[in-house]
Amino acid sequence: MDVTALTRYGRVRGRHGGGIAAFLGIPYAAPPFGARRMRPPRPPEPWTGERDATEYGDSAPQPGYVPPMSDLFPNLESPGDDCLNLNIWTPAPGRTGGGLPVMVWIHGGGFRYGAGSLPLYEGGRLAADGTVCVTLNHRLGPEGFLLLPDGTANLGLLDVIAALEWVQDNIAAFGGDPGRVTVFGESSGAISVVTLMAMPRARGLFHRAIAQSGAGHHTHTEDVARRLTARLAALAGVEPTAEALTAAAPQRLIDANAALGKELSAHRDRAVWGEAAGGVLTLLPVVDGATLPARPVDAIAAGAGADVDLLVGTNTDEFRFFLVPLGLQNLITDDVLRQVTAEYGLADEAGLATYRAARPGATPGDLLSAALTDHAYRVPALRLAEGRAAHGADTHVYEFAWRTPALDGTLGACHAAEIGFVFGNLSCGLTGETAPGDLSDQMRAAWTAFARDGRPGTAGGLLPEWPAYGTRRSVMRLGDGPPAVHHDPAAAERRLWEGIR
């Protein structure tokens, strides 16, 4: 059955069924190409009559995953110019003043891949749980995160801010409460969530935040960002000027960014390449002093975002996602293990001995995965909780420990394994046919309770009391038996990174 809602730009027609209405592909900004390419987002043009909102819109131009990663995450088939759009699922279509909490999802994908239209992110189940769920697209790769020579930066994040402004102006028409907006995201989406907490232009646009497997360390300084811009331009065969870069075909810059990642995989000098060293990530949010005044983890430690409720967590085996599918896990030798961990700050053998002691029988690949999981994910998340505690701001922390059966169980509780449980979409992604539905019930209850009142423990009896991180360093462990609170888990490994990460 068709259903309509009136936005400030015109009426949209969605589809209603099973108690949930879906409005797809609604533009929140004008197409960011042509004269608007690599410029800050502008409002969409109003329309007359009813705009069809029954199909997903364009996704941002991107390279697409290749095997074996494409076996774990599907590729998109609809990249295009009109990519600044969002999708809404609501149980209260057209009921203004409905007052439901709003959950706005920022997808992951290393700031190069992804879209809000992936089946994994279909928001109907979260809407059925009593929220208005929004997913969105933003510019990716060079279009969204290149530092241009004229100082333009963080366009992908400015897109997200434009989407949040659209939500403030329009979500009441879909039954949502603009005074109860939660931004949540995974991986680069979680990094975006935390970065928004440090961006003055985003202040007041959301009230709660959930960061899944991403925190506040992953940014570039201006110096690093300028080096990356110059190198990417060289790989694209163009001059490193705003005019030349905006004149280059999008695919040319996408290919150059892929080549940059391959090149940096052999260059792990963090003094030169910062968080891009090693090539897993290339272009990131830039601390430009204007749109982003400081590295988010530092800004939050200084009090930024203390008025925003925060839920943050990581998965037990995050980094296996990047090693196992490519066959790297079993190629790691003791020498490689020592070399790489030293490059990331664990230069002394005692550090590796700590990881070995906690993991009898672990291979060098297992130990490298554990150390890089801590460096890239767990310790940055804990630094957020610690920094906020100094300002009296509570942070609820989780660890997701359910082991995916994908790739014969070799991935463990890897990066992205929790997403299907959060959305209730257990036939997608890494969950497999044996995914426990009760775990999804627990996580959806916690996430939606947090969106309602900032307390994930008010989850209808599905979880035990969930204290804030605090002085006891309390962490809720999910997916490994009944949910349970652990105090300062893996403390010895955590202490290794003091003064390093």
- Residues involved in catalysis: 187, 318, 415
- Rounded Cα–Cα distance for residues 427 and 36 (Å): 39
DSSP states of 142-188 as a string?
HHHH---TTS---HHHHHHHHHHHHHHHHGGGGTEEEEEEEEEEETH
- Phi-psi sector, 331: left (phi>0), alpha (psi -120 to 50), beta: alpha
Q: Which of 195, 161, 183 is nearest to 296 (CA)?
A: 195
**Residues in CB range of 18: below 8 A, 6 or more apart:** 124, 128
Name the CA dihedral angle for 154, 160, 163, 168, rounded to a multiple of 10 degrees: -100
Beta carbons within 10 angstroms of residue 360's beta carbon: 6
Contact 212, 270 (CB under 8 A): no
Contact 84, 137 (CB under 8 A): yes
- Rounded Cα–Cα distance for residues 78 and 52 (Å): 17
Contact 442, 483 (CB under 8 A): yes
- CA atoms within 13 Å, Cβ hemisphere of 64: 8
Containing 340, the helix (H) or strand (E) segment is helix 334-343
- Rounded Cα–Cα distance for residues 21 and 137 (Å): 20
Beta carbons within 10 angstroms of residue 214's beta carbon: 27
Containing 372, the helix (H) or strand (E) segment is helix 364-373
- Rounded Cα–Cα distance for residues 379 and 139 (Å): 28
Contact 341, 366 (CB under 8 A): no
Where b means 16+ CB within 10 Å and e means fewer, 457-492 reads bbbeebbeebbbbeeebbbbbbbeeebebeeebbee
- Rounded Cα–Cα distance for residues 163 and 32 (Å): 14
- Rounded Cα–Cα distance for residues 305 and 415 (Å): 26
Contact 420, 121 (CB under 8 A): no
- Rounded Cα–Cα distance for residues 281 and 259 (Å): 12
Contact 181, 102 (CB under 8 A): yes
Identify the sign of the CA torsion 346, 362, 487, 480: positive
